[in-house]
Amino acid sequence: MSKMSLDINIEEIEVETTTSKRNVFFWSMYDLANTIYSMVIVSLIINRYVLVIGQAEYGMSYGEVSFLYGVVALVMQLAIAICIPFLGALSDNVGKRKPFI
């Protein structure tokens, strides 16, 4: 088994390790707003909206609409679980990760 060595002079690498408190505060506020939006819109409002539309527009029962919503959510989550490894490998090979986010 051969050993791999990196020909990098560690003394030449400079890494900025400080982050201003202002940036930390703004990132925290962004993350808080994003989390609240995701929780309220995706988890609560869309579910209720789909249930109301399914019952009012299509005449389905609460159980039927709820079941179909669950099936659609399951299919979407499975599709994401299958696609994520391939998209991750593709972004690693391309070298540009931001377009894949």
Concatenating the DSSP letter of every residue in the chain gives: -PPP-----GGG--------HHHHHHHHHHHHHHHHHIIIIIIIIHHHHHHHHHHHHH---HHHHHHHHHHHHHHHHHHHHHHHHHHHHHHHHHS--GGG-
Question: How much is the pLDDT for 97?
Answer: 74
Q: What is the mean pLDDT of residues 7-32?
A: 79
User: Going by C-beta distance under 8 Å and a sequence separation of 6 or more, which residues neighbour residue 72?
Assistant: none
Longest dimension (CA), the chain: 70
Q: Provide the mean pLDDT of the chain.
A: 85
Q: What is the DSSP string of 61-86?
A: -HHHHHHHHHHHHHHHHHHHHHHHHH
Among 22-31, 38-47, 80-89, where is mean pLDDT lowest? 38-47
Q: Greater confidence, 84 or 8?
A: 84
**pTM of the entire predicted model:** 0.59
Domain boundaries, the chain: 73-101
Question: How much is the pLDDT for 8?
Answer: 62
Amino acid present at 55: Q
